[in-house]
């Protein structure tokens, strides 16, 4: 269960003031003082009941200028402050089941009913509305290898609650798991997200709650796509790199991607089987389990 932070501070801060304060002090969620500092400024920002509405109206009015900070997120997320070294700030919009966009696009488009952990820490504040519902779980990340279908016996249910207005939670990386459900009516949360250089190499998982198993890795990075394209084009350097990554890259996820890229170069089942046999013995528990599954899929 994310840690509930009780921050009683009636002061109000603008987005710029909040950003300046976090830039000055940084945001290190492993440091209690830094965590409370960031949560206090998030509280102050949340006390400004007008800034987000004003910003959205301004954005709608100036849309043609396309001058808002860009992000890889969908329309559910408004990037308020782009990455500033250790953090960025965003607003999330949580529609209810009755909203047209949920009826039209389905809950999956809003990450509803997707049990997942996070490979980053973040603070969240219920800013507006009754808040999304979450079934909260915790898991022991150290026990997980990450292959699809892997049992996750440490996964345990904690509680169901919602991010009510004014509530501040600290989601802990690689520990808190949740499955979100639509808010009872349109809601908004504000996040201070922690960013770090190595974060992208730590995996984020989807879980199968009924079976208490790992569903899949949710956090592919751009390297995976680039590697697959390069190997697909078939250059010697690319093949050499893929072979080295497949056996020695520190990320098991990227090792598996390298093997997948190499396997995709042949459509002959016997050749694929031979490659996956090599992968099975390549020294990664993740690759070993996935290679076994790939070989089983080859068997008619
Ligand atoms: Fe989440």
In order along its 300 residues, the chain shows pLDDT tens digits of 899 999 999 999 999 999 999 999 999 999 999 999 999 999 999 999 999 999 989 888 876 565 555 555 667 899 999 999 899 999 999 999 999 999 999 999 999 999 999 999 999 999 999 999 999 999 999 999 999 999 999 999 999 999 999 999 999 999 999 999 999 999 999 999 999 888 888 999 999 999 999 999 998 788 899 999 999 999 999 999 999 999 999 999 999 999 999 999 999 999 999 999 999 999 999 999 999 999 999 977
| 178 within 8 A of 152, measured Cβ to Cβ | no
Query: Which residues of the chain does CATH 2.60.120.10 include?
Result: 3-217
State how far the Cα of 2 lies from the Cα of 285, in Å rounded to an integer.
30
Q: List residues bridging with 19 in a β-sheet.
A: none
Q: Measure 3 CA to ligand 1 centroid, in angstroms.
A: 14
Q: Measure 118 CA to ligand 1 centroid, in angstroms.
A: 6
Q: Measure 262 CA to ligand 1 centroid, in angstroms.
A: 33
User: What is the layout of strands, in order, in the sheet containing 187-194?
Assistant: 3-5, 168-171, 122-128, 187-194, 87-94, 77-81
To which CATH superfamily is domain 3-217 assigned?
Answer: Jelly Rolls (2.60.120.10)
Backbone angles phi, psi at 99, to 5 degrees: -70, 145
Q: Measure 225 CA to ligand 1 centroid, in angstroms.
A: 24
State how far the Cα of 206 lies from the Cα of 112, in Å rounded to an integer.
12
């Amino acid at each position: 269960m994310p840690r509930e932070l009780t921050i009683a501070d009636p002061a109000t801060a603008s987005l710029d003031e909040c950003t300046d304060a976090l830039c000055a002090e940084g945001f290190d969620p492993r440091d209690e003082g830094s965590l409370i500092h960031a949560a206090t400024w998030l509280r102050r920002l949340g006390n400004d009941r007008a800034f987000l509405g004003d910003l959205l109206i301004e954005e709608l009015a100036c849309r043609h200028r396309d001058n808002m900070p860009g992000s890889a997120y969908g329309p559910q997320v408004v990037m308020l402050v782009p990455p500033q070294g250790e953090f960025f700030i965003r607003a999330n919009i949580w529609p209810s089941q009755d909203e047209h966009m949920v009826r039209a696009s389905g809950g999956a488009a809003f990450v509803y009913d997707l049990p997942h952990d996070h490979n980053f820490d973040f603070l969240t504040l219920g800013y507006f509305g009754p808040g999304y519902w979450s079934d909260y779980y915790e898991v022991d990340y150290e026990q997980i290898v990450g292959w699809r279908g892997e049992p996750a016996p440490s996964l345990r249910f904690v509680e169901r609650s919602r991010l009510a207005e004014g509530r501040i939670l600290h989601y802990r990386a690689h520990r808190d798991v949740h499955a979100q459900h639509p808010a009872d009516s349109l809601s908004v949360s504000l996040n201070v997200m922690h960013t770090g250089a190595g974060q992208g190499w730590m995996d984020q998982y989807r879980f199968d709650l009924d079976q208490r198993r790992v569903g899949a890795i949710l956090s592919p990075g751009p390297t995976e796509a680039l590697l697959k394209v390069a190997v697909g084009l078939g250059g010697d350097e690319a093949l050499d790199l893929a072979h080295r990554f497949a056996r020695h890259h520190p990320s098991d996820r990227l090792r598996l991607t390298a093997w997948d890229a190499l396997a995709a170069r042949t459509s002959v089942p016997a050749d694929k089987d031979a490659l996956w046999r090599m992968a099975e013995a390549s020294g990664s528990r993740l690759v070993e389990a996935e290679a076994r599954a790939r070989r089983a899929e080859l068997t008619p």
